[in-house]
Chains A and B, each alone.
Chain A
Amino acid sequence: MNLSLGPLLYYWSRDDVLAFYEEAKTWPVARVYLGESVCSRRHLLRLPDWLALAEQLAAAGKDVVLSSQTLIESESDLKTLRRMVCDGRFRVEANEWGAVRLLSEAGAPFVAGHTLNIYNPETLDVLAGLGAERWLPPVEISRAALAAILASAPAGMETEVFAYGRLPLAYSARCFTARHYNLPKDDCQFRCLDHPDGLALSTREGEPFLTINGIQTQSAGVYTLIDELPALRELGVASLRLSPQSRHMGRVVEAFRAALAGEAGAADALARVMPGPAVDGYWHGRAGLEHRLERHA
Chain B
Amino acid sequence: MPLDLICPAGNLVSLKAAIDNGADAVYMGFRDNTNARAFPGLNFDEAQAMEGLRYAHDRGRRVLLALNTYPQSDSWSRWTGAIDRAASLGMDAVILADAGLMRYAVKHHPQLRLHLSVQGSATSYEAVNFYREHFGIQRAVLPRVLSLPQVDNVVQHTDVEIELFGFGGLCVMVEGRCLLSSYCTGESPNSAGVCSPPKAVRWTDTPSGLESRLNGVLLDRYGKDEKAGYPTLCKGRFEVSGETYYALEEPTSLNTLDLLPEMLKMGIAAIKIEGRQRSPAYVAQVTKVWRAAIDAVKKNADGFKPTAPWQAELNKLSEGQSHTLGAYHRPWK
Residues of A at the B interface (CB closer than 8 Å) are 70-75, 77-78, 81, 96-102, 115, 117, 119-127, 138-140, 144-145, 148-149, 151-152, 167, 169-176, 179-180, 184-186, 199-207, 209-210, 212, 217, 219, 281-282, 285-289
Contact = CB atoms under 8 A, between A and B. Distances in A.
B279 interface: no
Contact of A78 (B99, B126, B146, B237): B126
Contacts of A148: 72-74
B123 interface: yes
Given A101-B133, A122-B103, A286-B186, A199 B241 contact: yes
B308 interface: no
The majority secondary structure among interface residues of chain B is: mixed
Given A171-B174, A201-B240, A287 B99 contact: no
Interface string B153-183: 1000000000000000000111011111011
Contacts of A139: 179
A117 B98 contact: yes
Contacts of B180: 169-170, 210, 217
A205 B179 contact: no
A72 B129 CA distance: 14
Given A122-B101, A167-B183, A204 B127 contact: no
B179 A288 contact: yes
B284 to A, nearest CB: 31
Contact of A119 (B73, B172, B241): B73
B34 interface: no
B145 A73 contact: yes
B218 A287 contact: no
Q: How large is the interface on B (under 10, 10 to 19, 20 to 34, 35 or more residues)?
A: 35 or more
Nearest to B132: A101
Interface stretch (B14-22, B243-251, B293-301): B243-251
Nearest to B218: A203
19 contacts: A70-B177, A71-B145, A71-B174, A97-B99, A117-B70, A120-B100, A122-B71, A122-B98, A122-B99, A122-B101, A123-B100, A126-B103, A149-B73, A172-B173, A174-B327, A174-B333, A180-B241, A203-B219, A287-B215
Contacts of B101: 122-123
Nearest to A70: B177
A138 to B, nearest CB: 7
Nearest to B244: A204
Contacts of A204: 218, 220-221, 237-239, 244
B123 A101 contact: no
Contact of B126 (A98, A149, A169): A98
Contacts of B321: none
A286 B72 CA distance: 16
B97 interface: yes
B184 interface: yes
B121 interface: yes
B6 to A, nearest CB: 22
A287 B184 contact: yes
Contacts of A180: 240-241, 243, 247
Nearest to A148: B73
A201 B239 contact: yes
B247 A201 contact: yes
